[in-house]
Structure 1
């Protein structure tokens, strides 16, 4: 756990927690900087990122996108469009800009 943890817990503004593999979180330059540098997290504690600025429905889409991004990076197959609900477009642009992903 701690700096060598395999999973990252991302907490939303409404208290939902999303646990994703570290390699997926690191597809975001911002998350990578947050979890990759020197940490005060003890070895036996999971890595946590508080995203209190965003609601769970937005972070759920972000987590799904990060998995999609890692899966299709360097893919030789045709890459399908990532589905985005139009009513979330502005929120997703904001979070994508913040996370640099």
Structure 2
């Protein structure tokens, strides 16, 4: 069997599947559905916690300039949510749902 890897990053944009904020849940889930449908054997995502800054006092998370909102961020620092554990984004939950 031939290996075939794929990925999403800054694109594709709406209406295509990706993990950007503001996209519908079906678009988030469809990323992994598409990998399966096209016979992908691997998937690469460039970053899971690439936010620019997290300010605990204001509970603000700043995304990197020039990237679509949420790109490269699948979990957040727990301190912003008053916990010591990382907090999964809804997009990460939907990624897992798409794998199932």
TM-score w.r.t. the length of structure 1 is 0.25
Q: State the structure with bigger RCO (CA 8 A, min sep 6), 1 or 2.
A: 1
- The structure carrying a bigger helix percent of its residues is 1
Higher Cα Rg, which structure: 2
TM-score w.r.t. the length of structure 2 is 0.25
